[in-house]
Chain A
Amino acid sequence: KAGVTQTPRYLIKTRGQQVTLSCSPISGHRSVSWYQQTPGQGLQFLFEYFSETQRNKGNFPGRFSGRQFSNSRSEMNVSTLELGDSALYLCASSPGWGQGTGTDTQYFGPGTRLTVL
């Protein structure tokens, strides 16, 4: 099976712009989660989508949003970019059948490295 794919791999934007990142999960997986990694804050959970519905959300401002399509592919959008949004954005997929019981192993994509100038 192909792994989790993320596009683009690298992105440079300027403050105030918006950006959309894409994640394609492993075939058959229905849960997609997004994480932000920065040197200062480490790895932090953004949100999770399961069957096109947001099932869980982290503590990020409303500028961060996402959605999931019927084929389980997910997009993440950041509006009005700030310098502090520069980070590695990681997407993880899991079967989702565990329904949050902890029985799902999560598999990560290679990430999108976003630089905001």
Chain B
Amino acid sequence: DAGITQSPRHKVTETGTPVTLRCHQTENHRYMYWYRQDPGHGLRLIHYSYGVKDTDKGEVSDGYSVSRSKTEDFLLTLESATSSQTSVYFCAISDAARRGDRGYEQYFGPGTRLTVT
């Protein structure tokens, strides 16, 4: 999985509790992304980062925040988890420094299955 790890891999939590998911990369890629995957919706972008401390919102950012204090780590926080945030969360990275099409290619981590009860 291109030097990308996600932790935890599985988590069950209760409604209203805060949750932080971690993405760690060893590729030194500039861009990092958080997606959620739900049946019938494909992959939806939550937030992304284009450098240390540079982040922006994606399509479904409400209820989520992110932080990136180091190139290798991108954290996704659910401040107060809700049942609608039960999903599989994927982190991805891309190296925009590559020329041509290689800059677009995203490499995905193994995913985190989050269940909010």
The finding on whether chains A and B are genuine partners in a shared complex, rather than unrelated, reads no
Chain A residues in the interface with B (C-beta under 8 A):
none
Chain B residues in the interface with A (C-beta under 8 A):
none
